[in-house]
Structure 1
């Protein structure tokens, strides 16, 4: 890499300072992955969409260099304003499909949410020994049954209008600069799909902050009226967090479990109410 001072943040991510300028440096193993990020940025820039942090020229084709957002503050889905701004940014991204034929590019795979969740359920069942030990057999079985019941009633989402999806709408992939300008970062999982899919996944992220009250969520975000609410019944966040827990060291797990168990108990307490709202 170029001269200057580097601070390694992840195995393939560095904060690079050269003089008074600072950058984010991300190195990919495969050039096609870096090319995908550059392609997204180029297409959005052509259309005048400033959703991404600008990409700077760099001599190594495996590296993506972007200005470091030093005062970058991650979105918190517990904050109402942040929820409004993050979903607005997603709408802006999805609407780019009206002018950009993302589906004609070879960079993207199409997401199949039902298939993805079936795979998650299979993985969950493979790890039942760990789950029974850490979560308890009763709650493990309850979450398993919720997942099965949900998947069995899901209808595939129409593929008539495919667009670009970010692919990972976790709160820390929304950042704002010192001027309070909001950006989406980390498009590594970007894919094709109906906008409804990403709105479903965003809803899963924010529902706990609405105490799983679908009515209030829809009141705040009327655009969610068009999604199939049955997709909100899959215990996606519970399963994702517990599967993540299986990857932690013993020390990390001891620190993570108390908070996760509180989150789990609240979700299981509120899920019956959500089922009643969706299927009265």
Structure 2
């Protein structure tokens, strides 16, 4: 029996969970690896599966049901849950779901690769096409997307951490970041209804690169539905645009060449949303919330992102504002 314990995990908890799963699962476990958080890779005698823990049974059930609904709708570029008709695996305050393991390709999905960026947005568009017909089935089960509220909270948290941020980044720069955030948020709130004229879809809510997974066979999948909500697909597309802009050197013209994103670039609310410094505020908040600033390997990339991209971001701000004023 090969128990593979990864650094950073709680060995006692890991071993107890391994023993629990060995008793409860119908197959023999050969080994287990802690991936991140409450997610584990379990290798059985016949296949690999992902075990993921949820603090709330309702959240697990929504995840299971949504994955099943996606598959029934004809969307086959994600994972399935196993054991949906059995009693949930309950251990140490968490409910564990068993998820299909997708054997990954040797080349990971990467936003720095043009082909991946284009394939990712195409997959996101297909995801929305399928989830738009599922919205009514999940009425009352999923929250409605409130991007303005999320951004306001992010800005307020960053403001709280500002004295700590200014130990590493010049105060004039962080003041300008907050000016961008205020300008973006104020105008976005006024105009966001312009993004909600189409029928809503179920949104992914976290289109980070690690939530796109290419299988060994080369097929791209979208995974991790922890943050699904209902709303305009423009909100996922806006987040996608914000995620890839650093890899486009903050060039508006490059963004305009990407199909499924360019259709939103004539909507002022979308343009105001592009001005919000979502990534910088998110990463500083995470670093300081988790008290990781003393770790140079955690701190250095965020300082680098904040300082080295400043001039490019500033030019992008000016470019977008000129379009808004036209």
Structure 2 residue 202 is matched with structure 1 residue 164: yes
Q: Is the 8 A contact 1:55 1:67 kept in 2?
A: yes
Q: Distance in 2 between matches of 1:23 and 1:137?
A: 48
Once superposed, which parts of structure 1, at least 4 consecutive aligned residues long, lie more than 6 Å away?
A: none
Q: Distance in 2 between matches of 1:210 and 1:47?
A: 34
2:160 to 104, 107, 126: 126
Q: Distance in 2 between matches of 1:113 and 1:77?
A: 23
Higher relative contact order (CA 8 A, sep 6+): 1
Q: Distance in 2 between matches of 1:68 and 1:47?
A: 21
Moved more, 148-157 or 174-183: 148-157
Q: Distance in 1 between matches of 2:321 and 2:37?
A: 46
2:256 to 201, 218, 221: 218
RMSD: 2.0
SS at structure 2 position matched to 1:179:
coil
CA offsets 1:200-224 (integer angstroms, 9 cap, x no match) = 0000000000110011111133543
Aligned-pair CA distance for 1:278: 1.6
SS at structure 2 position matched to 1:189:
coil
Name the counterpart of 2:57: 31
Q: Which has the larger radius of gyration?
A: 2
- What 5-or-longer segments of structure 2 have no aligned partner? 1-20, 89-94
Q: Is the 8 A contact 2:252 2:316 kept in 1?
A: yes
Q: Distance in 2 between matches of 1:119 and 1:247?
A: 14
Q: Distance in 1 between matches of 2:131 and 2:51?
A: 28
- What 5-or-longer segments of structure 1 have no aligned partner? none
Aligned-pair CA distance for 1:63: 2.6
Classify 1:102/1:40 alpha carbon distance in 2 versus 1 (closer, same or farther; 3 Å). farther
Name the counterpart of 1:71: 104
TM-score (structure 1 length as normaliser):
0.92
Q: Is the 8 A contact 2:293 2:299 kept in 1?
A: no
Q: Distance in 1 between matches of 2:271 and 2:171?
A: 28
SS at structure 2 position matched to 1:95:
helix
Aligned-pair CA distance for 1:68: 2.0
